[in-house]
Structure 1
Amino acid sequence: MKRFFTSLVSMFLLVCSFAQQNGQEVLFTIDGVPTYTDEFLRVYNKNLDLVQDESQKDMKAYLELFITYKLKLRQAKELGLNEKRSYLQEFEGYRKQLAQSYMTDPKVTDKLLREAHQRIAKEVKAKHILVKVPQNASAQDTMAAFRKIKQLKKRLAKEDFDTLKKLLHDGKELFVEDLGYFSAFNMVYPFETMAYNTKAGEVSDPVRTSFGYHVIKVEDIRPSKGEVTVAHLMIRERPNDPNDTVKVQPAQERIKEIYGKLQQGETFESLVRRFSDDRNSAINGGKLPRMGSGRSSSQKFEEVAFSLEKTGDISQPFESQYGWHIVKLLEKHPVGTFDDMKAELEAKVKKDMRSRLIDQSLVERIKDRYKVKEDPKAVNAFTTMITDDFFEKKWKKPTDKDFLNKVLVSIEDKVIRYGDFASFLEKQQYNQRLKKGDSEMMIRSLLKDFLAKEYLAYYEANLEKENQEFAAIVAEYRDGLLLFDLMQTEIWEKAKSDSIGLQGYYEKNKGKYRWKKRADVEIASCTKQSFAKKVRKLLAKQKSIQQIKDEINEGALINVIFTSGTVEEGHQALPNGFKFTEEGVSRIYEEKDDFVIVRVKDILPESQKSLQEAKGRVVNDYQQYLESQWAEKLRQGRTIVVDEKVLSKLIATNN
């Protein structure tokens, strides 16, 4: 909720904490505190295209909103909301998350993104053999594993794979596996790189990963499946209400009836509009956002969507964890251009081993940017302390204060000591990936990781000084969160908890909260007029829905489908323009794709909604009322002075 609200605030008024006051004119003051023209203009121009209310594009009107915003922030600080622990924690969380976007080397990142885009356009089919060996294995064990994988490369190139697997695969030290097709980001980066650099039909050279040594046999390289756009009709399973005498129709039975109507010539879009339980997509004919392979939350849905070959193809009914579906293929999309996919690729790179390459490059830049001094004796000092206890998870960091206080590295005025690295090592002994081996190699690797984190942490802590854009966005988040807490305290919670005030507001505005005319109905949709005539007669004879379906439907052939319940005029299943005038059976209405009859069982006239029935809307309206009253109260006792000459100049300059 806070993230969403902060985004709205950013769109509406934020970006206002970095007024460049040098030589800028004062636009207005609040109790003598100035706000400058550049700050206001930056906010106004940024949000001009985002404001949908045309009146707010008027600079004078927008200035009033901006002043109200400033007053709200001032009150939040006067109430001490900016010192609340929850606020500070939330702000720090936002800052840390945002900082990740700025902790990068643009050149290295761009190179990796373009490489990933080239690879993601293809899928590689491969098999491999892995000889496991720990990352910090001794030189002797590492060489033995390397010799073994060299021998296995020859066998993988010549011998039958299935036979090799039966002979060699043990699932512990030696793995012989068919990986099928994969694309970029599906394998660890060194493995992926070797696979994409090996031609189809060939066996790669050995490649080292965190798991050990691999050789890869590439069998095929094909274009990626890309993405698809599909539409769906969904029916959810609804439990029966024990207090309801009418049983709910099972979802599987209902979707089969709908599928029958589809086979009989009714359009997919029409059926979606009338019957789909996914109302968000139903208004667009069931259309869903573009979907890529491996990115759907339902594997079954994805399988069916990608199995459709031609535009317009429609699946048979199938079940997912969300309900029953019928899917229609609207369009197939090849892999997008680099510019189209850049943001998506960047997000994946940050979660992938590639991010280490970016971090390493950034670390080198940081070491060049700041005054850094490392102790070259640290590796030897710590290597001598690593005993078998470390691998048995019994190792304790030394207690010698002189040793712990030694300076490991200094970054400008920040000092990291031996004791800090010793604490890091104490935690690392529980890392399951660390196996007994070459202690010096392990210490070098861990020290490199530790120092990299310290360099990056220092850079992140000073990002506001290094990057003005980051500093401005951090200010947006800071003020947005503060305003959220203020609104929560002053408006939203009051509107929910003030039952007397809410009741009073409802009583004064009852006319806004009324039921339209409603009716308890049974709506029959038929594929042909001849069936509609039969259904109408049966409805007039007071036959039940099930009796009519048993008589009209012919096995798998669905000639009539029903919608029943209490509905308002204008409901999607009713004939266009149908009005509730009297009880009984209507005439046959010829709609676009079928013939519709309505049996009106009971008419409920327009009536007043109770507060409970209209509570959601009443609370929302009451919140808006409280906010408008509060905004007026904020100005009381404040001295607000707008420089009309400066404002006129701004209006003239920006028209």
Structure 2
Amino acid sequence: MNINKIILGLALALNCAAFAQTEKKEVLFTVDDKPYYTDEFSRVYKKNLDLVKDESQKDLNQYLDLYIGYKLKINKANKLGLQYNTKYINELKSYRTQLSKNYTSDIKVTKALIDEGYIRYQKEIRASHILITLDENATPADTLKAYHKALDVRKKALAGEKFEDLAVNFSQDPSAKENKGDLGYFSAFRMVYAFETAAFKTKKGDISMPVRTRFGYHVIKVVDSRDNRGEISVAHIMILKPTSNNPADTDKAKSTIQDIYTKLKQGENFENLANQFSQDKNSASKGGVLPRFGSGQLSSEEFENVAFGLSTPNKYSEPFESQFGWHIVKLIEKYPIKKLSEMERELDTKIRKDDRSRLITNSLTSKLRKKYTVVRDEKMYAKIKALVTDKYYTGSWLLPSNMKDFNETLVTIDSKYEVKAFAFLKALEGLQKAESKLKPISKLVDFYYKDFEDTQLNIYYNDNLEKEFPEFSNVMDEYRDGLLLFDLMEREIWNKAKQDTLGLSNYFKENQSKYQWKTRVEILTASSTKEDIAKAAKKLFKKDQTADAIKGVLNTNDAVNVMIKQEIIEEGADNMPKNITFKKGISDIYKEGEFYFVNKVEKVLPAGPKSIDDVRGKVINDYQQYLEDNWVAELKKEFKVEVNKDVFEKIKASILKNN
């Protein structure tokens, strides 16, 4: 198989840029009366021009023949129904989802969030907080009550009461009783976005105004700020704290970690000691190695500080105590913050999984509301609202038994896309599980309807990307055809060539002249960094000593002085050693770089035919190409192809002129 000849279908996503189409769109050729146009031919030719290695394929006459062959194969694939294959459908859908991300997000907003996230990544904030919990969909009255409660706590802190005491007494974060509100150090993407933003905007020592997140209202005190320490990879040996309060057990644990430390100083292997003595079951069998981590990701600040305090790989700490036990930590590697260009993709992924993604979605939705006309059937909407009762709050509301009455249009987008009323009812039924407290019920329905309408706008936009963006449509068409072509070639050519052993054998016999050896030699090559060793190897070559015998004489238990490579070299081969002659004998000593070499030609193999086992891979490849060429000829008989020669001459002249 010549990969260049199917590059039209397989090298498709390399360039998403749209080419300027100055030529008038005309029918270039038809396959069974299905038209194919000049604009696509011109675009694909230009797109693949730099990818083809065979200069003949740049010839437009030959390229047209290849292009017609490509379209014939796609027609054959569709005729066989390969487009209905489940695997094909899923792969195409997956690719479209990935590609559409470039069109279904606000690039300007995304870039701003990436830049903001990267700037915040440079710092680590240490903060404490007091949480007043509040449901996301709380009533205005409950929201105001929670806000004032948080505001009162803030006033107490500003008046001089200890923040830690206030956290213990007022915070509804379950962990506050133990940590007194202290969250430790964190950087970007570690907290919900609103909390993170407030923390990074609050100066060291200051206390923020109440900040709303999905958990409720937070009052945040920023305790410290420092440069981000990046991430680190370490191994550790751990002795757990005894469960009893017996001082003897504690002394034994301390003694054990100290004995291990002494063994390390005596030169014993860290990994072996971790495997044998560490009581961290998750890491002991791995030589004590822990997953890579950054500040605030472990539940022990003491451990993190000791780990980041190490500066040299493979150096280890003295024994130290954490709340879990006693440790010795060995540094494996530190990973500083990468450059923005290296982190952009990672940051983009984090943003899409983070609360920040709402900003991108909201920005796009706002643009879509300006772009498309949205018309709601108010009578139908009123009918739906009348159906939803207060039973919704208890989860006992049911859909109407007769949904036929709601098989009418509720909302129309862009005068084309109609959404039925029952779709919104179904959405309401699913949202009932959220147990929203927003009242009265009419306001709750309005709240959910806005989200529903926003979702429908985005669905409509996504479904019409091919119409909105020609370059998106082009890439999808090419990828669609490429997948079909791959499946078709695998079925009709590649698998057949591998499985048809008789056909392969006959093809090899008929084309034996293509598979010939040039003159070859069986050669031994000795190499050493020492000239005297190379000379000694040459003397042993002259005595017809074997490679193993020579290595046995010249190498010792402490040093490998000589390496000997035995191989068969064909005349003209890329890896042919210097000073080689295609006759039996021993070369002079020669030097390349730091090494001295000597060659011994043991046997000369004359030119002659190769066996099929010598070249099976190439024969299979050639046989696949042979089958494909004959198959395309058969496809030209199966389908009626008509080329508009006058149009081809015009498009050819235009392409050559612009190139």
Structure 1 residues 234-245: aligned runs within 5 Å:
none
Which letter does structure 2 place at the counterpart of 1:456? N
Q: Out of 431, 455, 461, which is 2:463 matched to?
A: 461
How many angstroms does 1:515 deviate by?
Answer: 12
In structure 2, relative to structure 1, the CA distance for the partners of 1:414 and 1:13 (3 Å cut) is closer
Superposed displacement of residue 373, structure 1: 1.4
TM-score by length of 2: 0.62
- Give the superposition deviation at 1:327: 9.5
**SS of aligned partner of 2:376:** strand
Paired with 2:531 and 2:315, the residues of 1 have a C-alpha distance of 26
Structure 1 letter corresponding to 2:497: A
Describe the shift of the 1:523–1:17 C-alpha distance in structure 2 as closer, same or farther (beyond 3 A). same
- Match of residue 183, structure 2, among 147, 168, 178: 178
Mapped contact 1:583–1:603 kept (Cα < 8 A): yes
* Correspondence 1:225-304 to 2 at 5 A: none
Q: Distance in 1 between matches of 2:102 and 2:488?
A: 28
CA 541–54 in structure 1, closer or farther in 2 if over 3 Å, else same? closer
Aligned counterpart for 1:481 among listed residues 457, 480, 483: 483
Judge conservation of contact 1:505–1:622 (CA < 8 Å) in 2.
yes
After superposition, where does 1:350-389 map in structure 2 within 5 Å? 350-368=352-370, 369-373=372-376, 377=382, 381-382=387-388, 384-389=390-395
Match of 2:427 in 1: 424
Partner amino acid, structure 2, of 1:646: K
Structure 2: any 5+ residue segments left out of the alignment? 1-5, 233-291, 295-303, 317-331
Q: CA deviation at 1:463?
A: 2.9
Q: Residue 209 of structure 2: SS of its match in structure 1?
A: coil
Deviations 1:247-267 (A, max 9, x none): xxxxxxxxxxxxxxxxxxxxx
Report what 1:284 is aligned to: none
Aligned CA distance change for structure 1 residues 171 and 356 (closer, same or farther; 3 Å)? closer
1:366-385 superposed Cα distances (whole Å, 9 cap, x missing partner): 33412321656556753623
Q: 1:516 to 1:113 in 2, by over 3 A?
A: farther
Query: 1:56-75 maps to which residues of 2 (within 5 A)?
Result: 56-75=57-76
Superposition pairs of residues 57-456 of structure 1, within 5 angstroms:
57-84=58-85, 86-116=87-117, 118-120=119-121, 122-129=122-129, 131=131, 132-137=133-138, 142=143, 145-146=146-147, 149-150=150-151, 172=174, 174=176, 176-183=181-188, 185-218=189-222, 334-336=339-341, 346-368=348-370, 369-373=372-376, 377=382, 381-382=387-388, 384-389=390-395, 397-399=399-401, 401=403, 408-411=410-413, 412=415, 414-417=417-420, 419-428=422-431, 434=434, 437-438=437-438, 446-456=448-458
Cα deviation digits, residues 57-104 of structure 1 (max 9, x gap): 233332222222232233333334345555445444433443332223
Match of 1:247 in 2: none
Deviations 1:370-422 (A, max 9, x none): 232165655675362324346xxxx7544354775576544345444554334
Distance 1:447 1:147 in 2: 30
Name 1:258's counterpart in structure 2: none
State the match for 2:499 in structure 1.
Answer: 497
User: Distance in 1 between the 2:629 and 2:44 partners?
Assistant: 22
Give the deviation of 1:487 after TM superposition.
Answer: 1.8
Q: What is the correspondence of 1:585-596 to structure 2 with a 5 Å cutoff?
A: 592-593=593-594
* Distance 1:583-1:115 versus aligned 2 partners, 3 A rule: same
Q: Residue 332 and residue 544 in structure 1: after superposition, are their counterparts in 2 closer, same or farther (change >3 A)?
A: farther
Deviation per CA, 1:458-509: give whole Å up to 9, x if none. Answer: 2222333333333333322332233223222221222233232233334455
Whole-angstrom distance in 2 between the partners of 1:562 and 1:168 = 77
Deviations 1:107-152 (A, max 9, x none): 54454455445445x2333334362543234566655654565566
Give the paired residue count.
Answer: 545
Greater Rg over alpha carbons, structure: 2
Q: 1:13·1:69 contact (CA, 8 Å) conserved in 2?
A: no
CA distance in 1, matches of 2:152, 2:535: 81
- 3-state SS of 2:391 partner: coil
What percent identity do the matched residue pairs reach?
A: 35
| Superposition deviation, residue 50 in structure 1 | 3.0
Contact kept in structure 1, 2:18 and 2:470, CA below 8 Å: no
The structure 1 residue matched to 2:557, chosen from 551, 559, 579, is: 551
Q: Which amino acid aligns with 2:626?
A: Y
- Residues 580, 587 of structure 2: 8 Å contact kept: no
Question: After superposition, what is the alpha-carbon deviation per residue over 1:597-617, rounded to whole angstroms, capped at 9, x for unaligned?
Answer: 9999x9998999875675544
Q: 1:548 to 1:444 in 2, by over 3 A?
A: farther
* Cα distance change, pair 649–404 in 1 and its aligned pair in 2 (3 A): closer
Q: Is the 8 A contact 1:588 1:597 kept in 2?
A: yes
1: distance between equivalents of 2:103 and 2:578? Answer: 57
| RMSD, aligned CA | 5.9
In 1, are the aligned partners of 2:583 and 2:603 still within 8 Å (CA)? yes
SS of the residue aligned with 1:135? coil
Letter in 2 for 1:480: G
Write the letter of the residue equivalent to 2:424.
F
CA offsets per residue over residues 349-375 of structure 1, 9 Å max, x none? 434333222222333333341232165
Q: Which residue of 2 aligns with 1:470?
A: 472
Q: For residues 509 and 202 of structure 1, do their structure 2 counterparts lie closer, same or farther at Cα, with a shift above 3 Å needed?
A: farther
Letter in 2 for 1:357: L
Does the 8 Å contact 2:554/2:562 carry over to 1?
Answer: no
- Corresponding residue for residue 38 of structure 1: 39
1:321 is matched with none
Structure 1 residues 356 and 327, CA, compared in 2 at 3 Å: closer, same or farther? closer
CA distance, structure 2, for counterparts of residue 619 and residue 366 of structure 1: 54
Q: Counterparts of 1:315 and 1:364 in 2: how far apart (Å)? A: 52
Q: Distance in 2 between matches of 1:173 and 1:647?
A: 73
CA contact (8 A) 2:534 2:589 kept: yes
TM-score (norm 1): 0.63
1:627 Cα shift? 1.9
In structure 1, how many angstroms separate the alpha carbons of the residues matched to 2:219 and 2:474? 49
Taking a change above 3 Å as real, the CA distance of residues 82 and 19 of structure 1, as seen in their structure-2 partners, is farther
SS where residue 208 of structure 1 aligns?
A: strand
What are the ranges of 5 or more consecutive residues in structure 1 without an aligned counterpart?
229-291, 295-302, 319-325, 553-558
Contact 1:14 1:43 in 2 (8 A): no
Task: Measure, in 1, the Cα distance between the counterparts of 2:483 and 2:376.
Answer: 39
How far is 1:212 from its partner? Answer: 3.2
